[in-house]
Amino acid sequence: MAEKPFHAQTSVITCDMQGIVQEYAADAGDLFGWSPAEVVGKLSVATFHLPENVPTLVPRLLKEAVENGKFEEEVTLRRKDGDVFRARLTVRPVYRDGKQVGFMGMTHPLEPPRRP
């Protein structure tokens, strides 16, 4: 099977306040390897992070997104198949009727996925 060419496009994922994926764009499926049916309403956005980074990075990025309106940093993320890649992650809070209801993350890969 031929390897897919690397395309550095930005994917978008939204989650609720508990971190459960609510919207998972088709480009996110291409980037992370899970289908929308596997993710929406089922997986936490922590799934896309390296497990060792979840206890420190995730609380920090959520706090910064709420306090500053945006978190943006280069991070290492992982795909369903275990491959990892560097990406610029931008996270913003999502509000509805003046109340925060979740977060939106935009991932722009900086390199093709590789085996850890």
Query: Domain with 49 in it: what CATH number?
Result: 3.30.450.20
Residue 6 included in any domain: no
pLDDT at position 2 is 42
Calculate what percentage of the chain has a pLDDT beyond 70: 90
Number of domains in the chain: 1
Tens of pLDDT, residue by residue over 7-36, are: 557 799 999 999 999 999 888 998 999 999
Residue 101 included in any domain: yes
Residues 6 or more apart whose Cβ sits within 8 Å of residue 89:
61, 71, 72, 73, 74, 75, 77, 105, 106, 107, 108
pLDDT at position 111 is 77
Q: What's the rounded mean pLDDT across residues 63-83?
A: 95
Q: Whole-number mean pLDDT of the chain?
A: 89
Tens of pLDDT, residue by residue over 31-56, are: 999 999 999 999 999 999 999 999 99
Residue 116 has pLDDT above 50, yes or no: yes
Domain of residue 78, residue span: 11-109
pLDDT at position 3 is 47
Residue 114 included in any domain: no
Distance CA(83)–CA(36), nearest Å, equals 19
Residue 25 included in any domain: yes
Residue 3 included in any domain: no
Residue 17 included in any domain: yes
Residue 4 included in any domain: no
Residue 48 included in any domain: yes
Calculate what percentage of the chain has a pLDDT beyond 90: 80
**Paired strand residues for 99:** 96
Enter the pTM of the model.
Answer: 0.86
